[in-house]
Structure 1
Amino acid sequence: MAKKEVVTDIWVHGLLQEAKIHLDPQGSSILEIDQALKTASKSGSGKVGFPEYVGVVKDFLLVIENKADLSRHVKLDASGVISLDPVDVKNHAINGAVFYGKHLAKNTSYKKIIAFGISGDSKKHRISPVYIDETEYYRELPEVESFISFSAENIDEYYVREVLKEETDTEKELAEILRDAAALHEDLRNYGNLKDIDKPLIVSGILLALREAESKNFSIDDLTGDVVVTDGQKIFNAIQANLTRSRVAPEVKKDKILSQFSLFKNSVRLNEVHATLAKTPLKHFTEFLNSKIYRSIKYTKSSEDYLGRFYGEFMSYSGGDGQTLGIVLTPKHITDLFCDLVAIKPDDVVLDPCTGTAGFLVAAMHHMLSQTENENEKKKIRQERLHGIEDQEYMFTIATTNMILRGDGKSNLINGDFLKENPSKLQLKQATVGMMNPPYSQGSKANPSLYEISFTEHLLDSMSEGGRVIVIIPQSSVTGKTNEEKSIKANILKKHTLEGVITLNKDTFYGVGTMPCIAIFTAGEPHADDKECKFIDFRNDGYKVSPHIGLIETEQAKDKKQHLLDVWFDRMDADSKFCVKTTVEADDEWLHSFYYFNDEIPTEAEFEKAIGDYLSFEFSMIMQGRRYLFGGEDNAQA
């Protein structure tokens, strides 16, 4: 075996270990497969033949064939299909993988086989899966960057999405959530005549009241439309009891939340029996939320921000998205990615100073709790290690409700203006992780403190030394489009370290029109002149826009995320098209597109095309009388 191929084998073995997949090299410990390989010679002689790796994940048989040279990735025949000529099978990765896959499909009982043709090394490579069934039929699948989609945890979902081309349970659940949100929004409008700002408060208040049903202090059956003790009063009483039961403190915080829920008592329309419904709108909403939403929030262990999802849907159905208030709610896959990029741990103290619906805190809590079995540690996470600040009272109420519904009744949420908080005072929280999606498009020369990069600086100044800070902000924030923003960038580097910036999918905030990026810093440590930052192009993140649903995850998303994390944590080298490592200046545009240059040597075909394009351009200019562009005389007629 060539030395280069050994390097490829070692790299592939590392990818398999990372995905927690165990495959056997050069043979199989499974008797049935081992017997089949005794007649699997690539030459077709009927003698023994071994792929680089083979093994089983659940009921799938995985086969891997490697080549060190990218030019040996695949050979197609004259018809444009994978050649199974013995020479091509021997010399090309995909051809060899398909050969072994078809042989094993014919000679074993395995009915679902995924063969991988892999070429290159950790920096430049191609990984191509091909599905083969028991009839020896095969289908080429999209290229991947890792084996994460083929782990025991993910392979069934991959099969449903990429092979069967069907919706997964997660996708069906999301579509159902969106349908329910649309239906509830319609009912809130038709039966409640509610303002947009009040709709999420109705939802969150009812969900709190439903928690009291477990203590027998609230029952949907008690919502009878009584004119003395109204349904709204009963729900309000249940909300008040649940806030007390959840030990929401201090008292002023509980009172502030209750004042937001006073509309339950004060709205005549919500408490009158509706002729069509034959019940009050509040009872109708409560029945709907109990059956459709409450159980999802209470019993799920997911980091999905259901109330945030609902709020976003309400706003979009109302013809707005919150942009007038600078509200851009963060999708779940981004809140989860934040936790992974800062490698969040159970003993971290998390601060989100622009809490919104508490999506970041929900995600952080989920990730932190999943890493410990110690009940005392879990209690500390819930009660001491999650901090948030939210300026708008109704959003503060929704955030508090969201945390209570997730079992965090003592979350340290503050209703206040983050920019007016003294950073030295906030440092007393000893936050080790800062996460933020600040208000967008609020800053101006007259109000430079409202620039997104200004929020970022204020958060960095509020962290403990060495704290990890991660923010999602518009790309324009890191380019320094105004002198004020350039000055803020320079100040940041004087006191803090920029670790890198990740350019995101333009549809991350679908429907909002924001081009976002993620910026990651280390607080309290001045940026060294020779510090190399990572600038990553993650626009192709595996998410796409689906009609009537919005941004959805494709099967490539897990794989692309794993590749991003591998590159970010230096577990893998990357092509400069994906990641550039470089020193920075404050005046630089902190984006991959600013630092990237194509360092690939062009192929002969690319060189010939470039020359041809130039000659065509030169000929066209000469024919237009512009020979002077090339050092000749201008023959154009006056």
Structure 2
Amino acid sequence: MTKKRISEYTSYIWIKNELQELDWNTKNPNRNSDGQVYTQQECLDNEQIKKQLVKKKPEYVCKINEDNFYVIEAKGQIEEIDKAFQEACDYATLINKSKLIKAPIVSGVAGNDEDGYIVRSAFLEKGIFKTINYHSKEITSLISPSLCIELIENKSSSIKELEINEKQLLATAEDINEVLHLGSINKDERASVMATLLLSLIDDTKPNYNASATVFVKDVNNRAEEILIQHNKRDFFKHIEIKLPSKEEARKKYKKSLVSTIFKLKKINIKAAMFSGTDVLGKFYEVFLKYGNGAKDIGIVLTPRHVTTFACNILNITHQDVVYDPTCGTGGFLVSAFDYVRSNSSEEQLSEFKKHRIFGIEQQPKVASLAIVNMIFRGDGSNNIIDDNCLSVGLKRLVLNSSTTGEYVKTGENINSKVVSKVLMNPPFALKDKDEKEYKFIQHALDQMIDGGLLFAIIPLSVLTKSGVSKKWRQNQLLKENTVLSVISLPDKLFYPVGVHTCALIVKKGVPHPENQKVFWAKCNEDGYLTKKGKRLKNDSIENHLEQIEDKLKLFILNSNTKINNIPEFQKSEKIDFKDNLLELVPEAYLDQKIPTKEEIMIGIDELVREAAAFIIRSKNENEII
């Protein structure tokens, strides 16, 4: 059956909307002094452009500045992307013959509202239009004004820094979740479907979007499996393989949602974004797992990126560290450790680190698969991520080709040589199994560590306040075998909507806690994020207490004699009260109270008077009724 011809006119609204989202002023520059976008023949009103194009007119010409322009050409079918791109280059080449103006940036757009859209962009570098990229990964969206300026100033098609709009990222994740819902893809399968699609995109060759559902999904699965084979992780494919429904109509709907998802991922430059400082996959997984039931059933909460970055900084992760997360979930801490080392190491050092010194365990195979995908996209580091119960697995030192690394062994085997120097972890919350209390995960991690190693763990406050077995652990193991360096109360809504009050525990392994050793206590009520409509978004008007303590805490971890200013109800360095019968190791037990101002006292008195008056009135009314 011949496919119906679709005009490129259908793409005009889409392109204009995309340009607006990217902060282009889409008004005609000839009619508005702030305008930046010519639509079709409008560009011929510009004298210099008309001299070069004569009567030719691209779909859009964007004004970057007075003498630089950005050309966009569109076609109505996805398979016409090469044609759209080439015509954009041809228009730009004509403009570039001018001695007064240049068109160094071009984009070809192909597609329609029904099938979706794809974009190819290039920058004129040394006379050749080269693909715009970030860390060699193609930029697959239209180009923003600020990015155009950067490309021109650097005279290079390679972007140095890729800014990720977190609000747009979350909106795209929600949008994709809805698309997968409309495709009748089970909410608990969406994260693994996403993982497979992302793996399939690593290969730069395009799948046949017009193929049947069966052929298309087989191609996607084959691509994903091949990537896992290359990374010695083929066993995980069975956990993320996409499986089509049996009915033909359902298959078509399923396939349509997959294609739409791929185009939405391309729109946010997913492959390039994976190398940015943002944990892009973490954001997507957060949305998908939020709607599914699986995460709730197994106690998974995703650690926010700014917290994992904070942990890596204060522990000063280096390429020489062996980093371990025994409850790694989707890999948030490991991703941050990798990124932190990448920004502070040579290529050779990073290669050694990712191959030999990142270890993670996740009990749920599907979730472990997500962690593996996360690391593969960032340049690997997936070698030593496994699915298992961490409490039944240990890590011992191993030397491979003169490189220090570790290997997994079963708990109970004689581990003569420990290897882990840094632990980053957020064990599952609220597990009912009595054998899997949060402190047991911490103790397991400490058991794998070398003396002097550092542990950062996010745990419920109750682990450090409860009596019974929790107190015995604090008393007989945590403090008798290690030094507590710091405890930080974290914001109440950090894991919203999960209502667990949490803290960060920082421990030095192997040195019994001296009675005169001071601890850095801090209560961080704010982290620079605002909770609005069920989402937590960065907001510059909100204080960030984690940032405020970060530098001092990093110094304190190196030297506990570092002077810490005593700020009531916020921070203090103070010795542990070993005479405390409860042995509560939380900031609330050690921070000083603020001295109320005269105004605060008067407000308090006023409130007490009002409450007393209300109580008397209520009591009188109740007596009258009686």
**TM-score (norm: length of structure 2):** 0.62
Which residue number in structure 1 is paired with residue 585 of structure 2? 590
Contact kept in structure 1, 2:301 and 2:495, CA below 8 Å: yes
Q: 1:257 to 1:606 in 2, by over 3 A?
A: same
Residues 1:526 and 2:512 are matched in the alignment? yes
Q: 1:270 to 1:567 in 2, by over 3 A?
A: farther
- Which stretches in structure 2 are left out of the alignment for 5+ residues? 1-145, 147-160, 397-407, 410-414, 556-561, 618-626
Contact kept in structure 2, 1:356 and 1:395, CA below 8 Å: yes
Counterpart CA distance in 1 for 2:419 and 2:456 is 16
Which residue number in structure 1 is paired with residue 276 of structure 2? 301
Which residue number in structure 2 is paired with residue 29 of structure 1? none
State the AA in 1 paired with 2:584.
E
Q: 1:409 to 1:182 in 2, by over 3 A?
A: same
Residues 1:402 and 2:387 are matched in the alignment? no
| SS class of match (2:202) | helix
Instruction: After TM superposition, list the pairs within 5 Å mapping 1:73-472 onto structure 2.
Output: 173-191=165-183, 193-213=184-204, 216=205, 219-221=206-208, 224-225=211-212, 227=214, 230-245=215-230, 248-249=231-232, 254-264=233-243, 267-268=245-246, 274=252, 280-292=256-268, 294-298=270-274, 300-302=275-277, 304-318=278-292, 322-372=295-345, 374-408=346-380, 410-422=382-394, 428=417, 430-443=419-432, 447=434, 449-472=435-458
Which residue number in structure 1 is paired with residue 101 of structure 2? none
| SS class of match (1:439) | coil
Structure 1 position 271, deviation (Å): 9.5
Which residue number in structure 2 is paired with residue 581 of structure 1? 573
State the AA in 2 paired with 1:180.
T
Which residue number in structure 1 is paired with residue 26 of structure 2? none
- Among 494, 503, 507, the residue aligned to 1:517: 503
Contact kept in structure 1, 2:490 and 2:501, CA below 8 Å: yes
Structure 1 position 294, deviation (Å): 2.2
Contact kept in structure 2, 1:567 and 1:574, CA below 8 Å: no
Contact kept in structure 1, 2:362 and 2:386, CA below 8 Å: yes
Structure 1 position 581, deviation (Å): 2.3
| SS class of match (1:263) | coil
| SS class of match (2:203) | helix
Q: 1:571 to 1:225 in 2, by over 3 A?
A: farther
Structure 1 position 514, deviation (Å): 1.3
Q: 1:430 to 1:385 in 2, by over 3 A?
A: same
Q: 1:549 to 1:524 in 2, by over 3 A?
A: same
Counterpart CA distance in 1 for 2:361 and 2:289 is 22
Residues 1:507 and 2:493 are matched in the alignment? yes
- Please give the per-residue CA displacement for 1:557-585, whole angstroms capped at 9, x wherever unaligned: 56751444325533652324222322223
Structure 1 position 297, deviation (Å): 3.3
Q: 1:609 to 1:184 in 2, by over 3 A?
A: closer
Structure 1 position 489, deviation (Å): 1.3
Which residue number in structure 1 is paired with residue 155 of structure 2? none
Structure 1 position 502, deviation (Å): 0.2
Structure 1 position 614, deviation (Å): 13
- Please give the per-residue CA displacement for 1:313-361, whole angstroms capped at 9, x wherever unaligned: 123345x582221000101111111112212223221101111110101
Contact kept in structure 2, 1:544 and 1:554, CA below 8 Å: no
Counterpart CA distance in 2 for 1:472 and 1:611 is 35
Counterpart CA distance in 1 for 2:177 and 2:199 is 19
Counterpart CA distance in 2 for 1:607 and 1:559 is 23
Counterpart CA distance in 1 for 2:380 and 2:322 is 15
Q: 1:523 to 1:183 in 2, by over 3 A?
A: same
Higher relative contact order by CA 8 Å / sep ≥ 6: 1 or 2? 1
Counterpart CA distance in 1 for 2:333 and 2:340 is 11
Contact kept in structure 1, 2:530 and 2:542, CA below 8 Å: no
Q: 1:611 to 1:511 in 2, by over 3 A?
A: closer
Structure 1 position 549, deviation (Å): 3.2
| SS class of match (1:522) | strand
| SS class of match (1:197) | coil
Which residue number in structure 2 is paired with residue 475 of structure 1? 461
Which residue number in structure 2 is paired with residue 100 of structure 1? none
Q: Considering only aligned residues, what root-mean-square deviation do their CA atoms show, in Å?
A: 3.4
- Counting aligned pairs with the same residue, the percent is 25
State the AA in 2 paired with 1:260.
H
Instruction: After TM superposition, list the pairs within 5 Å mapping 1:30-109 onto structure 2.
Output: none
Structure 1 position 234, deviation (Å): 0.9
Counterpart CA distance in 2 for 1:476 and 1:551 is 27
Contact kept in structure 2, 1:272 and 1:280, CA below 8 Å: no
State the AA in 1 paired with 2:419.
Q
Q: 1:205 to 1:615 in 2, by over 3 A?
A: closer
| SS class of match (2:386) | strand
Which residue number in structure 2 is paired with residue 78 of structure 1? none
Contact kept in structure 2, 1:533 and 1:582, CA below 8 Å: yes
Counterpart CA distance in 1 for 2:353 and 2:256 is 40
Counterpart CA distance in 2 for 1:289 and 1:317 is 19
Counterpart CA distance in 2 for 1:610 and 1:512 is 33
| SS class of match (1:470) | strand
State the AA in 1 paired with 2:173.
A
Contact kept in structure 1, 2:525 and 2:545, CA below 8 Å: no
Contact kept in structure 2, 1:443 and 1:452, CA below 8 Å: no
Contact kept in structure 2, 1:369 and 1:381, CA below 8 Å: no
- Among 457, 480, 497, the residue aligned to 1:494: 480
- Which stretches in structure 1 are left out of the alignment for 5+ residues? 1-155, 157-168, 625-638
Contact kept in structure 2, 1:580 and 1:596, CA below 8 Å: yes
Structure 1 position 439, deviation (Å): 0.6
Counterpart CA distance in 1 for 2:248 and 2:444 is 43
Contact kept in structure 1, 2:526 and 2:544, CA below 8 Å: no
Q: As a proportion of its length, which structure holds more strand?
A: 2
State the AA in 2 paired with 1:484.
V
Counterpart CA distance in 2 for 1:544 and 1:566 is 25
Which residue number in structure 1 is paired with residue 558 of structure 2? none
| SS class of match (1:380) | helix
Contact kept in structure 1, 2:303 and 2:332, CA below 8 Å: yes
